[in-house]
Structure 1
Amino acid sequence: MFHVKLPRQDAIARQADEHLVTHQVKLPRVVERPLRQVAKRVAMALAVLVGTAFIVYADSGGYNDNSDGRVDLLDAFYYATVTLSTTGYGDITPVSDAARFTNIFVITPLRVLFLIILVGTTLEVLTERTREEFRLNRWRSNLRDHTVVIGFGTKGRSAIQTVCATGLKREQVVVVDPSEKAIDSATASGYTGIVGDATRSDVLLRAEAQKARQIIIATQRDDTAVLVTLTARQLNRAAKIVAAVREEENAPLLRQSGADVVITSASAAGRLLGLSVLSPSAGMVLEDLIQQGSGLDIVERPVIKAEVGHGPREVEDLVVSVVRGHRVLGYDDPSVGTLKLTDRLITIVRATPGTRVMPDTRPLPQD
């Protein structure tokens, strides 16, 4: 079972970074329709009404009816109705000490319970469900070219932070994870969350993956990543899919499944460890480049008019590569020549609060 969770306004302000609970016992929960919940509460209220009427009828001798002086079963139901609804016409009154004692310690608590069941809870259910349905429908109708992130672990969190550094709004990020704790953490950070198995197409449809511009797959298992990639590519042929795998031998399988870019997390971490052993300083620099927003950042940006006609080494920023069409050329590649207005530069810059990675808005090549 899966459901959509939209971010609460007060949670967006907090944007708390909560730790995930990896071990959790979950019991199945049936989500009832609002009308069924209202009907159940009406039945509970009727049960309280009937119980009150029989309590009054059991001690009918302790009550006085102004019309004929006696209280029958119909009068007992009438008294229970006007008493529980706080109408209180006063035509039937308790006269004996036992009847008054019962009204104080039994009828009055039942009156409070009756009002809570019939009025407070019913209105709350109706307004809450109606408001939630309205928010979901409005969210689905307005969602376009968003980013879907599968998995809200360490990799998923870091990926979202990097993508949001480009200026992407939090409302344009949808997180899918089978853990409700993870989704609670995502919604607390301002993202829309969906609890469910992303290998199922109906879960990805709930995330509007068919309308997404980019899909980030950061699952814990490589086989899950393959299944998610296959499902996502089947739903959306145009989306840019970036997937992470633990083992390098699984990377070709991810590409065959439809991933545009595959990141091998275990190999990347291993290479960083090896580089840090050989040269701790080089390892520190590389780690600094990976961390967004501090020290040095590696960014992709378009070529400005003042740079057109110049070589990569003549640019003020430190150019690492030039993206021309669908090719990534090194800064010293002879085929680069001079820069063109349609080129994009991958540069290393000093991280500042205003530094942003410019997203690539060009359409992906069609197979």
Structure 2
Amino acid sequence: MIPGIILFLIFFIGVFGYIYIENYNLIDAFYMTSITLSTGGFGEVKALSPHGKIFTSILIFSGITVVVYTLGNVTKFFVEGELKSYLRWRSMDNKITKLKDHYIVCGAGRTGRKIIKDFLKKGLDFVVVEKDEKKIEKLKDIYRKKLLYVIGDATKDETLLQANVKSAKVLISVLSTDAENLFLTLTTKDLNEKIQVITRAVDASSEKKLRRGGADFIISPFEIAAERMVATATQTNLISFVDVFSKKSRIEGLTFELVEIKKGSQLVDVTLMEAKIPTQTNLIVIGHEVDGVMKINPMSQERLKENEKLLVLGTKDQIKKLIEIALN
């Protein structure tokens, strides 16, 4: 693009120069500039003055320099793989544009990399946003073509739009500072007010600001670590139970999931007993949402409502079956 702009400017200067120096009309000046820059070897419109000959010589050398520079860039584009990189980027951009209800992970530090790894294991659709190209290159070396990413500042509108934020359902912000996480939350909510924002609070005092900024969930790693240590020291049996479902568990394939009951579902306005969820899916119903509050160990006579959520425990296939029931 830059060589093209330079060539246009030289052409414009050439036309103006012939009009000013040789008193050519616009057509003659345009013709003379064209044959000079193209080194076509055609005759001059009329004999040039000494000043005209100097100007023409400068114009020829300028044109040749720009052409050589342009050819060098074109060769580099094709030979050094930039065309391949461009086509790969266009293909990935098209894939991101087609995503719907996907996740966006902003930040590819230690926490971000762990989230990416877990998302890939779960087979979720997500886009990574990271401004440090070196971090993206490391991820590409590990995950190859599985990774969809955008290189850019996550706090800027154009970067989030490139990650298709308007069609995403959840954005996870794990940037390095609370200020960046807050600004990202504000920007995200401005572009998509329905999206759910999960952000990290490095400093506990920032939680209120992040909440005011529109964050739906705020995770404080230090507080979680402290609570876990206290619980380990005072509630060993509880921690052992939780560890059953952690990555170190021997019971594989089980997971907790929140399943929303959609409008028109057969689960709307029926009791848990009538729904027969364990019979139909083999899932364990841990709880269900009542007026926005999760009620654990609900009674069998509890009546389910539209848009409520069921907290269940089971395998991916069992959960998938319940989702289908909750939709129809």
- TM-score w.r.t. the length of structure 1 is 0.53
Matching residue within 84, 102, 108 for 1:152: 108
Q: 1:329 corresponds to which residue?
A: 295
Structure with a larger share of its residues in helix = 2
- Offset of residue 149 of structure 1: 0.6
**Change in CA separation of 1:34 and 1:126 when aligned onto 2, cut-off 3 Å:** farther
Structure 1 residues 231, 354: closer, same or farther in 2, change over 3 A? same
- The structural deviation recorded for 1:219 is 2.1
- Pick one of 279, 298, 302 that aligns with 2:235: 279
Q: How far does the alpha carbon of each residue in 1:250-269 deviate from its partner, in whole angstroms, 9 at most, with x for none?
A: 22221210111222222111
Does the aligned pair in 2 maintain the 1:301–1:346 contact within 8 Å? yes
1:346 matched to 2:311: yes
CA displacement at 1:327 relative to structure 2: 3.4
Aligned equivalent of 2:150? 194
Once residues 346 and 272 of structure 1 are traced to their aligned partners in structure 2, the CA distance between those partners, rounded to angstroms, is 22
Task: Give the C-alpha shift of residue 348 in structure 1.
Answer: 3.7
Distance 1:182 1:359, change over 3 A: farther
CA displacement at 1:176 relative to structure 2: 1.3
Q: Deviations over 1:66-124 (max 9, x none)?
A: xxxxxxxxxxxxxxxxxxxxxxxxxxxxxxxxxxxxxxxxxxxxxxxxxxx79975643
C-alpha separation in 2, matches of 1:130 and 1:311: 57
Amino acid at match of 1:178: K
**Equivalent residue for 1:298?**
256
Q: Give the distance between the partners of 1:320 and 1:119, measured in 2 at CA.
A: 62
The higher-RCO structure (CA 8 Å, 6+ apart) is 1
Cα 1:227–1:127, aligned 2, differ >3 Å: closer, same or farther? Answer: closer
**SS at 2:272 equivalent:** coil
**Which deviations, in whole Å up to 9, do the C-alpha atoms of 1:178-219 show, x marking residues without a partner?**
332322233342222223322222322332223322211122
Q: When the two structures are superposed, what TM-score results if normalisation uses the length of structure 2? A: 0.59
Matched, 1:262 2:215: no
Unaligned runs of 5+ in 2: 8-71
Deviations 1:151-176 (A, max 9, x none): 123332343455556652xxx31111
After superposition, the Cα gap between the structure-2 partners of 1:177 and 1:137, relative to the gap in structure 1 and judged at 3 Å, is closer
Cα gap change, 1:344 to 1:163, in 2 (>3 Å): farther
- The answer to whether the aligner puts 1:319 opposite 2:290 as a matched pair is no
Contact 1:291/1:297, CA 8 A, preserved across alignment: no
Contact 1:173 1:192 in 2 (8 A): yes
Q: Which residue of 2 aligns with 1:206?
A: 162
In structure 2, the CA distance between the partners of 1:269 and 1:330, relative to structure 1 (3 Å rule), is same
Going from structure 1 to structure 2, the CA distance change for 1:34 and 1:289 (only over 3 Å counts) comes to: farther
Q: 1:160–1:130: structure 2 CA closer, same or farther, 3 Å change rule?
A: closer
Identity %: 19
2:193 maps to amino acid: R
- Closer/same/farther in 2, CA of residues 359 and 226 from structure 1, 3 Å limit: farther
State the Cα distance separating 1:359 from its structure 2 match. Answer: 8.0
Does the Cα contact within 8 Å between 1:247 and 1:267 map onto a contact in 2? no
In structure 1, runs of 5+ residues without a counterpart are 1-32, 40-116, 363-367
Q: 2:272 is matched with which residue: 307, 310, 332?
A: 310
1:276–1:192 CA distance, 2 compared to 1 (3 A): same
Q: Is the 8 A contact 2:243 2:249 kept in 1?
A: no
Structure 2 match to 1:18: none
Which residue identity does 1:300 align to in structure 2?
Answer: L
CA contact (8 A) 2:92 2:148 kept: no
Structure 1 residues 1-367: aligned runs within 5 Å: 121=76, 123-124=78-79, 127-128=83-84, 131-132=87-88, 134-136=90-92, 138-139=94-95, 141-163=97-119, 167-168=123-124, 172-187=125-140, 188-189=142-143, 190-291=146-247, 295=251, 297-301=255-259, 308-310=270-272, 316=278, 317-324=283-290, 326-332=292-298, 337-340=301-304, 342=306, 343-349=308-314, 354=317
Shift of 1:306: 9.0
What CA distance in whole angstroms lies between the structure 2 residues aligned with 1:129 and 1:156?
Answer: 25
SS in 2 for 1:199: coil
Distance in structure 1 (CA, Å) of the matches to 2:77 and 2:296: 66
Distance in structure 1 (CA, Å) of the matches to 2:2 and 2:185? 36
The range that moved more, 119-128 or 136-145, is 119-128
**Counterpart code for 2:255:** D
